[in-house]
Amino acid sequence: MQRISEIKRRVINLQDAVFEPFEDEVGTGLLQLNPNAPRGTGFYIYRMEPGASSSPHRHVGAEEFYIIDGELIDNDGTIYRAGDVVWLDAGTEHNSTSPGGCTIAVFSEKGEVLPSAADSG
C-alpha cells in the first residue's frame, strides 16, 4: 500500500482546533474535516459557548449526534448530557441552548433549513 497523501487526509486535535462560526448563530462554531461535503452535512464537530443557542431549524434528513462534553437543552426541555447519543428523524424541528457550553459530534444526512423555508418547499 502507498502512503496516504496530505491532500487526502486531515487530522485536527480538538484542543487546538479553530472552529468557524456556524451561520448567524452567536457563540457557536463548526469544524468540518471533509472539504468536499456541503457545510453542515455529513460528519462535523459543533461547539457551543456557555449561554449559546442554535437557530430554530428543521432537519431535511436524519441527524445523529454524540455529546462529547457539556450539556444541551432542547426547546421541549429534553436535556442531553455528555455520553448521550441522539437520533432525530427527518422533518424534526427544534432549537437548543447550552447554559454551560458543549461539544457535539454530529452526522447530518442532508443539513437543515429554517422551519418556514421547509414549509414552502
- CA 105 – CA 94 distance, rounded (Å): 18
Say if residues 54 and 26 touch (Cβ distance below 8 Å): no
On whether the 20-120 domain is CATH 2.60.120.10, my answer is yes
Provide the pLDDT confidence category of residue 121 given band limits of 50, 70 and 90: very low
Residue boundaries of the structural domains of the chain? 20-120
Residue with cell 441522539: 86
Beta strands in the chain (DSSP E): 20-21, 28-31, 42-48, 52-53, 57-59, 63-74, 79-81, 85-88, 93-94, 96-98, 102-108, 112-113
Residues 38-93: pLDDT tens digits?
A: 988 999 999 999 999 998 999 989 999 999 999 999 999 999 999 999 999 999 99
- Model-level pTM? 0.87
80: nearest Cα among 65, 94, 93:
65
Percentage with pLDDT > 70 across the chain: 95
Q: What is the pLDDT of residue 117?
A: 52
